[in-house]
Structure 1
Amino acid sequence: MPIRVDLLALEPNVPGQACLTVKKWQGGEEQLEFSIQRNQDGFYLQDQKAWSSNPFWFKVSRFSVATSGEALEAQVGPEVVDPLLEGGTNSQFMIELREQSQGHTDKGVVRPGVGLLPSTAGGQTRSTYGGADLSAPAAPEPEIPELPELVLNTAEPEIELESVPNEPAYTPPPPPVKKSKKGLIGLALVVLLLVAAAAGFWFYKRTPVPAPAIAAAVPAGADAQACTLDSMNSLPELTFVQTCIKAAPDSAKLLEIINEAKAGKHCGVAQRLYANRAQAGDALIANAYAREYDPKYLKASECFPAADNATAAYWYETILTQDPNNAEAKQRFEELQK
C-alpha cells in the first residue's frame, strides 16, 4: 500500500521550514533517503532547488516517531519547501522513500500543507541541514573561559569599637494652637449659596438638546463581495484566495466559486480553494477535489486536464482520516490502489 506523505507547517510557523510526515511506512526509521519527482516533465528535485532528469536522494539519518505513534517525522528546509510551493497550478509531486541500504522502498504523493511559507516570506532563512543531508547538526559546545584564581585573605581584621555619643533627651514639641472654625463655616455657606444660584439659573435657561440622528446603517454583506467573479478578475490570485477564505462561505457556495474559477480559467484559484478547505477537513470539498483526478468521474478541463490515480487516492484518504466509515471514499480509495 502506498505511503501517505504530508508536508506540514511547523508550530510556530517558520518560513522555508516544514515537517515531512510519513504514514504507512513499513521499513526502519534510520538511514533513509527520499526523492521527489514532479508530474509535468518527470524531473526530479535536486540540491540547491534545481530540477533534473536524474534522480537525486535527500538523506535523512533518522526519522522521529510522531506523538500519535502512527507516523514518522523529519524537518526539511528551503531546498524542499520552496520548489514545491513554486510549482504550477497543475503540479503534482511523487515521493519515493527507501532505506539507504537499498532495502525497503515505497512511494506516495506529497503535497504542501495549509499555511506553508516560502523562505522568502521571512527574509534569508538558514536551513537546518547542509546540502542534501537532512540530519540536524549538533550545536558546538561553548568554550568556558578560564577564570583567574581568587585569593582570599584568611587573616581576621581587627574590629575597633567606636564610642557612641550620648543622644540628648527627647523633648516633645508644644501642642498646636487650635484655630477657630467659625470663619471656615461661614465661607463654606457662601460658596454653597453661589453654587445653588448658578444651578437654578442654568436649569431655568437651558433648552432641550435634540436627539442625535440615527447613523445610517452600514451596508450588510460586505464579505459577500469577497468571493465574487468581479473580485476574482480584479484582485491578484493570492489576495483573492485569502480574502475569500476569510469570508468562510459554506461548502455549497464554495463549490460554486470554484466552478466559476474553472470556467474563467483561474486554475490557481480553483486549486488553492480546493486544497485549503479539503485539508481543513471539509469532506464535501475533498470529495469534489478527488473526483477532479478520479478517472471514473473526470471531466477534462483546462484546469484538470487528465486523471491522476495517486492524487485522487490522496484526497479520498484525506476524507477517510476524518470519516473512516465513508463508504464511497473507501471504495474509490481501494480501487485506485489496484
Structure 2
Amino acid sequence: MPIRVDLLALEPNVPGQARLTVKKWQGDEEQLEFSIQRNQDGFYLQDHKAWSNNPFWFKVSRFNLAANGEALETQVGPDVVDPLLEGGANSQFQIELREQSQGHADKGVVRPGVGLLPSTAGGQTRSTYGGAELTAPSAPAPEIPEIPDLPELTLSTAEPEVELESVLTERAYTPPPAPVKKRNKGLIGLLIVVLLLAAGAGFWFYKRTPAPAVAATASAPAGANAQACTLDSMNSLPELTFVQTCIKAAPDSARLLEIIDQAKASKHCGVAQRLYANRAQAGDVLIANAYAREYDPKYLKASECFPAADNATAAYWYETILTQDPNNAEAKQRFEELQK
C-alpha cells in the first residue's frame, strides 16, 4: 500500500522549514533516503533546489516518531520546501522512500501543507497563515504611559492671557482705588485656575474619546473582505497575494467553489490549485472532495487547469477526507478503487 507523505509547517512557523511526515511505512526508521519527482517533466529534485532527469537521494539518518504516534517525521529545509512551493499550477510530486541499504522501499504523493512559507518570506507578514506568534512586539508600545504633557497645558493658556490683558487695559481708563486692585488680582487668579481646569478637562476628554478612529478601523475590514476574492482582484494582484487575502477573508465552502470556478475559467490555474489545497488541507471535506474529483478518472472533466486524471493525487485527497470523516462511504470506496 502506498505511503502517505505530508509536508507540514512547523509550530511556530519558520519560512523555508517544514516537517516531512510519513504514514504506513513498513520499513526501518534509521538510515533512510528519499527522492522527489515532479510529474510535468519527470525530473527529480536535486541538492541546492535544482531539477534533473537523474534521481537524487536526500539521506535521513533517522525518522522520529510523531507526537500522535501515528507517523514518522523529520525536519527538512529550503532545499526541499522552496522547490515544492514554487511548483507550477499543475505540478504534482511523487516521493519514494527507501532504506539506504536499498531494502524496503515505497512511494506516495507529497503535498505542501497549510501555512508553509518559502525561505524568501522571512520578512513578510505571515498573519494569513496564523503566524502571529512570530511577529515582534512594536517598539513604540512602552511610550503609551508617557501621555501626561502638563507643560502643554500651561502653554494652552496663551490665548486666555490676551483676554486678561484686555481686561487690564479697560481698567486703565478709570483707575480704581487700591482695594479694587486686590479684587482684580484675586479675579485674575481665579480666571487662571478656571482656564487651567477647562483646558485639563478638554485634554482629558480628547484623550478619552477615540470613537471616530475605532469606527473607521472597524469599517475597513468589511470593505477589504468584500474585494478580497473578486475576479478583479484575481486579475490585478500577484497569485500568492490574492490567495493569502482571499483565504484570510474566510469565504464559506460554497462561495470558495465559485471563486475556484472563476479562477479555472479565467485560466488562473495556480490560484485554483492553491485555494483547493489550502482549504482541503485545513479539513474542509466539501473542498477536499471537489479537489479529489478534479483528478479522479471517474469524475474528471478535462480542462486547462486539470487536463488529465491522476489516481495517486485523487487517492491522496480521498484519504485526506477519511482522516476528517472516517465514515465517508464514497471517499472510502473511491480511495480503495484507486489503490488497485
TM > 0.5 fold call: yes
- Distance, in Å, in 1 between the alignment partners of 2:89 and 2:310 is 14
Using a 3 Å threshold, how does the CA distance of structure 1 residues 218 and 122 change in structure 2: closer, same or farther? closer
SS of 1:108's equivalent in the other structure is strand
- Distance, in Å, in 1 between the alignment partners of 2:266 and 2:121 is 29
* Residue in 2 that maps onto 1:18: 18
- Distance, in Å, in 2 between the alignment partners of 1:226 and 1:47 is 37
SS of 2:313's equivalent in the other structure is helix
- Distance, in Å, in 2 between the alignment partners of 1:218 and 1:94 is 46
Q: Which amino acid aligns with 1:315?
A: W
- Distance, in Å, in 2 between the alignment partners of 1:235 and 1:113 is 23
* Residue in 2 that maps onto 1:303: 305
Report how far residue 240 of structure 1 moved. Answer: 1.2
- Distance, in Å, in 2 between the alignment partners of 1:22 and 1:264 is 36
- Distance, in Å, in 1 between the alignment partners of 2:219 and 2:332 is 48
- Distance, in Å, in 1 between the alignment partners of 2:233 and 2:67 is 42
Using a 3 Å threshold, how does the CA distance of structure 1 residues 70 and 221 change in structure 2: closer, same or farther? same
Q: Which amino acid aligns with 1:60?
A: V
Match of 2:278 among 276, 279, 297: 276
- Distance, in Å, in 2 between the alignment partners of 1:87 and 1:317 is 23
SS of 1:122's equivalent in the other structure is helix
* Residue in 1 that maps onto 2:131: none
Report how far residue 122 of structure 1 moved. Answer: 2.4
* Residue in 2 that maps onto 1:321: 323
* Residue in 2 that maps onto 1:33: 33
TM-score, normalised to structure 2, is 0.71
Q: Does 1:246 align with 2:248?
A: yes
TM-score, normalised to structure 1, is 0.71
Using a 3 Å threshold, how does the CA distance of structure 1 residues 281 and 218 change in structure 2: closer, same or farther? closer
Q: Could you report, residue by residue, the CA deviation over 1:65-115 in whole angstroms, capped at 9, with x for unpaired residues?
A: 111111001111111111111111110000000111111110000011111
- Distance, in Å, in 2 between the alignment partners of 1:111 and 1:240 is 20
Report how far residue 224 of structure 1 moved. Answer: 2.0
Q: Does 1:235 align with 2:237?
A: yes
* Residue in 1 that maps onto 2:269: 267
* Residue in 2 that maps onto 1:115: 115
Report how far residue 230 of structure 1 moved. Answer: 1.4
Paired residues for 1:45-60 under 5 Å: 45-60=45-60
Aligned length: 258
**Which structure's CA Rg is the greater one?**
1
- Distance, in Å, in 2 between the alignment partners of 1:230 and 1:50 is 35
Deviates more, 1:87-96 or 1:225-234: 225-234
Paired residues for 1:1-338 under 5 Å: 1-122=1-122, 222-338=224-340
* Residue in 2 that maps onto 1:128: none
- Distance, in Å, in 1 between the alignment partners of 2:223 and 2:120 is 35
- Distance, in Å, in 1 between the alignment partners of 2:238 and 2:70 is 39
SS of 1:12's equivalent in the other structure is coil
Q: Could you report, residue by residue, the CA deviation over 1:50-73 in whole angstroms, capped at 9, with x for unpaired residues?
A: 111111111111100111111001
Structure 1 stretches of 4+ moved >3 Å: 214-222
Q: Which amino acid aligns with 2:337?
A: E
Any gaps of 5 or more consecutive residues in structure 2?
124-185, 195-211
- Distance, in Å, in 1 between the alignment partners of 2:219 and 2:66 is 49
- Distance, in Å, in 2 between the alignment partners of 1:254 and 1:297 is 20
Using a 3 Å threshold, how does the CA distance of structure 1 residues 118 and 218 change in structure 2: closer, same or farther? closer
- Distance, in Å, in 1 between the alignment partners of 2:241 and 2:122 is 18
Any gaps of 5 or more consecutive residues in structure 1?
124-189, 199-213
- Distance, in Å, in 2 between the alignment partners of 1:243 and 1:81 is 22
SS of 1:298's equivalent in the other structure is coil
* Residue in 1 that maps onto 2:144: none
Structure 1 vs Structure 2 CA RMSD: 2.6
SS of 1:80's equivalent in the other structure is helix
Q: Which amino acid aligns with 2:304?
A: E
Q: Could you report, residue by residue, the CA deviation over 1:176-234 in whole angstroms, capped at 9, with x for unpaired residues?
A: xxxxxxxxxxxxxx99xx89xx9xxxxxxxxxxxxxxx999959655222111111112
SS of 2:307's equivalent in the other structure is coil
Q: Which amino acid aligns with 2:333?
A: Q
Give 1 or 2: higher helix fraction. Answer: 2
